[in-house]
Structure 1
């Protein structure tokens, strides 16, 4: 299924676009997804299924932009989230392990969280170990940390590649309110941190 050249206004407390569990292969491209800023739209795009392709999408005025464990997110603009009480606010988020035989690729996006929490890109171990994720060539700004990089209590992340991203200070002086990156497993097998820089010059490295 493909959703293309469409404006989607999100539903109260739910999502703009949903791929349900048991489904795979949704493509969303050249689409705007947004809330009305008065009542919460929790997710712009929520993937409960398997593979999804998200391309040239503009997502804004929502609590969380995209939530998926696998698929491709590219050439998109996620910005200006809306905070509602008790929210954790992330623009692109993964919360568990990709489905067997799949991976998550996040590349060539502009991701700006204008709040002081939680992240621009957030790889969280809420439900499983993060692995097989590539974050490449994105412009990242804002949030508490601009990038949550996959470490967590469920195990050591692996095959996480963070390559050639640019971190901006335009939202917060440290990139994110607290800094540019947190929760990086430096010793994780297959993990790569390479060529990540500040927009105004200089390398960005995990603490």
Structure 2
């Protein structure tokens, strides 16, 4: 009998298929931070909220007026779990109190990265989310088998050099797929 190691999707993008019914994930592009036998964790990277970094800093430090530049820094809805908790995906040239290295990328969950970005001394490239997406053991694999998602290699240009509304289509295009040509009936023949 042949045994094979499961293929995990850490450091890849997940593309929601057009027929994705879950409103938390319809039309989303998710970066997979961790995926192993215990489950998976990811951050939705194409769903900006009404909030900006200035709003967050006002909550963290009500006595200080945040720099005007922070009003231009969007905050993304990273997923439906712990929506009050911040996660910053960023370029890996600097590290903070709670930073994890991810193959040319870093993830920081401590507030010092937000203060550094506000002060203009943070990472060169960053994307800030509130909340994350989580899957139990085997759940993401089952959803992939059910054609809920496509996965593709991570591309920093998609994450950091494109407007949020272009990211999903660009990730699909990297696989040679035009999502608008896929109908919601896919996989139901």
**Short-chain TM bin:** under 0.3
Higher helix share: 2
| Higher-strand-fraction structure | 1
TM-score, normalized by length of structure 1?
Answer: 0.21
If asked which structure has higher relative contact order (CA below 8 Å, sep 6+), I would say 2
Q: Which has the larger radius of gyration?
A: 2
TM (norm. structure 2) is: 0.22
